[in-house]
Homo-oligomer: A and B are copies of this chain.
């Protein structure tokens, strides 16, 4: 349809090799990009100059800081990446012309907000073991969405797009702890390692349990939030 034609007319396709930046914190914003294949890591540079992984974007997902003049974080290719970028100005003009598109993008952003809130919640509360399991689970699922594997299968195999150090950073742990917990998951049979980066999950259900189970600090710990019926 018309919108898609207009969209593709301003799109610029780029192939970006692994470990190269797509854009950097503070760059003039490119507005928006669609990831066709590969995995992108989002990196935030704090005021002290440290770099921290704050997110992953899998194909066929989207990427970008709509409306902002400059990017608030960096994006780098975790694997070789194939993306379409849309120049900010032209893209914003399109959005004004097609409210449907803007609305769609809006809903997408709201969803992203939900996911981020969920992640925050989990970082604040789960043990290191559960966190590592959770991240592996999420990556497993998103890899499946990206194609390749049948979704209904109860097993999965994927390549980790991050180093142990980056995993640790993403999870708010140290790389040693991540390594230990991965080993622990392996020895409990919840995962297998073909190589350090190549993970096999024989039973996704079991991993999902490990991701949130463990009494640790359950219902007993939930803050009693005083509030009456509305």
Contact = CB atoms under 8 A, between A and B. Distances in A.
A202 interface: no
Interface in A89-128: 95-96, 99, 102-103, 105-107, 109-110, 112-114, 116-117, 119-121, 123-125
12 contacts: A20-B228, A21-B229, A23-B230, A44-B121, A48-B218, A50-B222, A67-B110, A105-B106, A119-B120, A123-B124, A169-B222, A169-B225
A46 to B, nearest CB: 7
A226 interface: yes
B166 A52 contact: no
Nearest to A50: B222
A54 to B, nearest CB: 6
Nearest to A103: B102
Interface string A14-57: 00100111111000000000000000010110111111111100
Contacts of A44: 117, 121
Contact of A223 (B76, B112, B119, B166): B166
Nearest to A224: B165
Contacts of A72: 114
